[in-house]
Structure 1
Amino acid sequence: MTDSNPQQSPDAASSGSEARDREVVPKGGGLMRSGLIVSTMTMLSRVLGLARDVVIAALFGAGQGADAFFVAFKVPNFLRRLFAEGAFNQAFVPVLSEYATQRTRAEVRELLDAVAGSLAAVLLLLTALAMLAAPWLVWLFAPGFGRDPAKLALTADMLRLTFPYLLLISLTAFAGSVLNTWNRFAVPAFTPVLLNLSLIGSALLLTPMMSEPALALAWGVVIAGAAQLLFQVPFLARLGLLPRPWPSFAHEGVRRILRLMAPALFGVSVSQVNLLLDTVLASLLAAGSVSWLYYSDRLVELPLGVFGIAIGTVILPALSKRHAEQSGDHFARMLDWAIRAVLLLGMPAALALAVLAEPLLITLFHYGAMTDQDIAMAAMSLRAYAFGLVAFMLIKVLAPGFFARQDTRTPVKVGIIAMVANMVFNLLLIWPLAHAGLALATSLSAFLNAGLLGHLLRKQGVLHFQPGWGRYAVQLLGGCAVMGLGLAWLAPDWQAWLDWPLWRRVGWLAGLVVAGAGAYFAWLAAFGVRLRHFRMTG
């Protein structure tokens, strides 16, 4: 008769203890569901971001204070995207996913402590040096400001205030990467809302207290950085993953992350380098050029963040897990799904931005100090950026195909080619098209970047296009044609919008957006596109 309650053998006990100690990452859920969560939170953030820009445009227009702030904020924000959300995120998430899948919980905690401490140490030193060298950084990133000593001094003062944001937001990105790896996408996606609320509040409340009104915006950036970091701390603690930072550059995981980061700096963040080059060259053009590019870029960032970055955010940890599990077929299907998803929404968004450029800019920004000329100039660069929107989105979902496999060298080669091409396009287009030429150059180089990434993924046998692409292309192109023709026919001449009150502008714009989206999705539904076709498990 067998014992119904046998004693556990030492080997079995040891195995059970090891299993309990091993870090368990929640199984990936539906990628579309996760993408919708991130998209919803990102949409909230982007809408508030537009509200923020409406406030800034009304209070500061495209004048000296606005130009100074945009440069002072762009420098740490550029480095944030380059390091925190670019190279660091793409190097850290695959290593963390591997640790979480194959190592014990104690090893994962040790990795988090070492990475948090090392990251903070480097950023503290970088921040201190940047604050000391603020005037030289302004010369580097906006050399045209050197012609106006007052503008240069104001920008340097703002940069000293805004640069600590890099330290705070990089640690925030570290926390967000951990949460995303554990499938907690909503919290990191909601966090940028705090930046926009802080800037809106500072612009409205602190501006009257400042000797230089635009300094209120710089203070708002610092407040936002602290708020975003503190917001994520309780959620890390709830997972038992709140690190105790301690620098350890000798840690095996930290060394691997550093090796992956070096080439990744030139990988996924190439588009940010190109945008920064636009700012440098725009500072040499007519006054207001920096602001025109900024306002048009902000509109392109809305669909890019809601669709492209959202899909890229959820797909990187999912791809990293599939690579760790050596599930090549699932990996390839995920990439194909991501491309289809961004095209589904990216193509009509790009077309709508081009057709409705002036109405969008007028409705959002034509108040206070913003002039009719500013609208016309910003519309030119908006159309040029809209041309490259699909390419910007494709980069966000194709680059993770390399980073998830811990291959950062291939994207760096592509990035260098695209960056050199962007410089050539800039020189060719800046003279005939001024600031709009800079935006068009960025779009052209983005297409080159995305095309090379896709080609190399296929060449490496990682990306396999699934059946049905021919039919899908016809469905998308037909829907875009119907939507574009409908918007062009329905929209009144943009000059008429200049004299309309706010309620009429908003009403017309909302009606056009609903009509355009309705026509597009009605066409897709009529020709067989269904939501179930986009279901994909992580």
Structure 2
Amino acid sequence: MSTVTPSGGPEPAGPGLLRSSAVVGSMTMLSRVLGLLRDVVMAAVVGASANADAFFVAFKIPNFLRRLFAEGAFAQAFVPVLADYKEDGSIAAVRALIDRVAGVLGGTLLVVTTLAILAAPLVAALFAPGFVGDAHKFELTAQMIRITFPYLLLISMTGFCGAILNSYGRFAVPALTPVFLNLSLIAAALVAAPWFEEPVFALAWGVALAGVVQLLFQLPFLYRLDLVPRPRWDTRHPGVRRILKLMVPALFGVSVSQINLLLDTVLASFLPTGSVSWLYYSDRLMELPLGVFGVAIATVILPSLSAHRAGLRMAQFSQTLDWAVRSVLLIAVPAAIALLVLAEPILVTLFQYGKFRPEDVGMAALSLQAYSLGLAAFMAIKVLAPGFYARKDTATPVKIGIIAMVANMALNLAFVLPLLYLYNIGHVGLALATSVAAYLNAGLLLRGLLREGVYVFQPGWGIYGGRLLAASAAMVIAVVWLCPPTATWLAWSLQQRVWWLALTCGAGGAVYLGVHIALGTRLRHLRTPVPPA
């Protein structure tokens, strides 16, 4: 049965996945560029100090949980169930599902948020146990958790609204929404911080304000679809029960990479002051290509995969997955090379001002290089996991997630202790362990999809792989040839740094694309052969 719009008419065919990915990617790119500007301003205001470490922990806890609820397990469980209700064509049933999911999700998060605020010191001790021995840092973290934790409730409901919009092909609005977090934090750092005795408190209040603004921004667009949620607490609703059944194991399975990053923060709290901040800045740079392209592609393929599964079109399901894997590799490989080779120049250009010292550049560059090694795996996980959740298979990703989690813990011990005691760079071991565990996670997800026969490699992988390797090799040569020593970057003015970094990245990208084109890659090769249902 064809799907319908809330007004009752037939739903028009959606845009191609490439175009939808481009829309999401462009909106996300705007957000990420502003996010970089935000981090530049924050680095100048708080640097990599003890107070900065405290803020980043207080911000990362609700932000991590947001990724579970808003971008991870909840979306992976909710979208396939919503697709089934749309496939049945009953608008009343769709509205009933949305209202009850809003009530259960919102009510649960309200309780969690209240408990976290009341028990802020316990939360701080749980997620940053290394701060307990530093009374000032620990108290600062607990105070800011009370301010930032409501962001979890607000942004998770924003993510819920965004999942509805994505399911109806309105990808641009949810992708644009994170812009308001960046604008709020930039304003907090530049305008509000001077009015606070401790500037990091201005950043904490900026996070809370951003949650309110982002949720309000989504509502008018849901109103146009006549799908504004009217929360109802009803855990007995069949759709809610199906979502909960899918979501509980998915909370772990789909977000293993994020859990690993959070574990890095926990362990980093025991390392020298600045370690949490170095990991934060390097993680943010790694998140730029991951968020712009990996999340964008994953966002648009989940509704399509769910629709193909609901319509029993498994050949198209496999072709969509294959397109997604090729697309993320096309971006992940050159992005990882750029981050690996240009780690210090990028950090110098963006952050080495104000309270961010040259020593911080060197430390953050090492962890950025370690993270960059795992970028392809991080992006692959984003597009492989939906292959399971679109089919309501939660058991397999959970098993894989447990394996990856245990491996990451073992690798932390294997890498951190030697690097800490030999070179005093234990934080690099945390990043490296996360990257290796991500490859294990992605490899097992891929093997599972291949074994079950729902993903079959499409023709042309040999030619595609050859072009990818050749273009990447040429890019490495161009970037290394153009990049001067770090001492030169440090001596340059801001204008010189920006100009030469743009020239180096632009030349590397031009060489990469040029070799691809010379070897026969064309735009039509990037378009998915399967339109979304």
Q: Normalising to structure 2: TM-score of the pair?
A: 0.97
Residue 25 (structure 1) shift: 4.2
Match of 1:525 in 2: 517
Code of the aligned partner of 1:169: I
Code of the aligned partner of 1:514: G
Match of 1:142 in 2: 128
**What's the secondary structure of 2:253's corresponding residue?**
coil
Match of 1:12 in 2: none
Match of 2:206 in 1: 220
Match of 2:340 in 1: 354
Residue 254 (structure 1) shift: 0.4
Code of the aligned partner of 2:463: R
Code of the aligned partner of 1:152: F
Q: Which whole-Å CA distance do the structure 2 matches of 1:188 and 1:19 have between them?
A: 19
| 1:23–1:80 distance in 2 versus 1, CA, 3 Å | farther
**What's the secondary structure of 2:132's corresponding residue?**
helix
**What's the secondary structure of 1:206's corresponding residue?**
helix
Code of the aligned partner of 1:526: A
Contact 1:260–1:406 (CA under 8 A) maintained in structure 2: yes
Q: Which whole-Å CA distance do the structure 2 matches of 1:522 and 1:480 have between them?
A: 11
Q: Deviations over 1:176-232 (max 9, x none)?
A: 000000000000000000000000001111111112211000000010000000000
Q: Which whole-Å CA distance do the structure 2 matches of 1:440 and 1:419 have between them?
A: 14
Match of 1:4 in 2: none
Match of 1:102 in 2: 88
Residue 328 (structure 1) shift: 0.5
1:511 and 2:503 correspond = yes
Code of the aligned partner of 1:503: Q
Q: Which whole-Å CA distance do the structure 2 matches of 1:370 and 1:484 have between them?
A: 29
Match of 2:278 in 1: 292
Q: Deviations over 1:456-513 (max 9, x none)?
A: 0000000010011011111000000000111011100011111111000000000011
Q: Which whole-Å CA distance do the structure 2 matches of 1:430 and 1:94 have between them?
A: 40
Match of 1:240 in 2: 226
Q: Which whole-Å CA distance do the structure 1 matches of 2:389 and 2:13 have between them?
A: 20
**What's the secondary structure of 1:266's corresponding residue?**
helix
Match of 2:150 in 1: 164
**What's the secondary structure of 2:226's corresponding residue?**
coil
Q: Which whole-Å CA distance do the structure 1 matches of 2:477 and 2:228 have between them?
A: 53
Q: Which whole-Å CA distance do the structure 1 matches of 2:198 and 2:352 have between them?
A: 23
Q: Deviations over 1:375-433 (max 9, x none)?
A: 00001000000000000000000000001111111111100100000000000000122
Residue 255 (structure 1) shift: 0.5
Q: Deviations over 1:142-192 (max 9, x none)?
A: 111111111111110100000000000010000000000000000000000
Residue 28 (structure 1) shift: 2.9
Match of 1:501 in 2: 493
Q: Which whole-Å CA distance do the structure 2 matches of 1:21 and 1:295 have between them?
A: 46
Pick from 243, 263, 267 the counterpart of residue 277 of structure 1. 263
Residue 24 (structure 1) shift: 4.7
Q: Which whole-Å CA distance do the structure 2 matches of 1:262 and 1:199 have between them?
A: 32
| 1:133–1:19 distance in 2 versus 1, CA, 3 Å | closer
Q: Deviations over 1:19-42 (max 9, x none)?
A: 998685442320000000011011
Contact 2:6–2:226 (CA under 8 A) maintained in structure 1: no
1:333 and 2:333 correspond = no
1:115 and 2:107 correspond = no
**What's the secondary structure of 2:353's corresponding residue?**
coil
Match of 2:42 in 1: 56
Code of the aligned partner of 2:72: G
Contact 1:348–1:480 (CA under 8 A) maintained in structure 2: yes
| 1:305–1:21 distance in 2 versus 1, CA, 3 Å | closer
**What's the secondary structure of 1:147's corresponding residue?**
coil
Structure 1 gap segments, 5+ residues each? 1-14
**What's the secondary structure of 1:197's corresponding residue?**
helix
Q: Which whole-Å CA distance do the structure 2 matches of 1:418 and 1:26 have between them?
A: 41
Q: Deviations over 1:342-395 (max 9, x none)?
A: 001110000010000000000000000111110000010000000000000000
Match of 1:390 in 2: 376
Q: Which whole-Å CA distance do the structure 2 matches of 1:19 and 1:465 have between them?
A: 34
| 1:29–1:91 distance in 2 versus 1, CA, 3 Å | same
Q: Which whole-Å CA distance do the structure 1 matches of 2:41 and 2:156 have between them?
A: 26
Match of 1:478 in 2: 470
Q: Which whole-Å CA distance do the structure 1 matches of 2:6 and 2:397 have between them?
A: 38
Q: Deviations over 1:326-346 (max 9, x none)?
A: 001100000000000000111
| 1:398–1:20 distance in 2 versus 1, CA, 3 Å | closer
**What's the secondary structure of 1:498's corresponding residue?**
helix
Code of the aligned partner of 1:454: L
Q: Deviations over 1:281-330 (max 9, x none)?
A: 11111110000000000000000011111100000011001100100110
Contact 1:28–1:318 (CA under 8 A) maintained in structure 2: no
Pick from 9, 13, 25 the counterpart of residue 39 of structure 1. 25
Pick from 466, 489, 505 the counterpart of residue 458 of structure 2. 466
Match of 1:76 in 2: 62
Code of the aligned partner of 1:202: A
Q: Normalising to structure 1: TM-score of the pair?
A: 0.96
Match of 2:444 in 1: 452
Contact 1:21–1:106 (CA under 8 A) maintained in structure 2: no
Pick from 297, 319, 322 the counterpart of residue 305 of structure 2. 319
Contact 1:23–1:101 (CA under 8 A) maintained in structure 2: no
Match of 2:422 in 1: none
1:210 and 2:191 correspond = no
After the TM superposition, which parts of structure 1 deviate over 3 Å for at least 4 consecutive aligned residues? 18-26
Residue 82 (structure 1) shift: 1.5
Match of 2:249 in 1: 263
**What's the secondary structure of 1:27's corresponding residue?**
coil
Residue 534 (structure 1) shift: 1.4
Contact 2:5–2:11 (CA under 8 A) maintained in structure 1: no
Residue 103 (structure 1) shift: 3.9
Looking at CA atoms only, which structure, 1 or 2, has the larger radius of gyration? 1
Q: Which whole-Å CA distance do the structure 2 matches of 1:474 and 1:23 have between them?
A: 47
Contact 1:118–1:246 (CA under 8 A) maintained in structure 2: yes
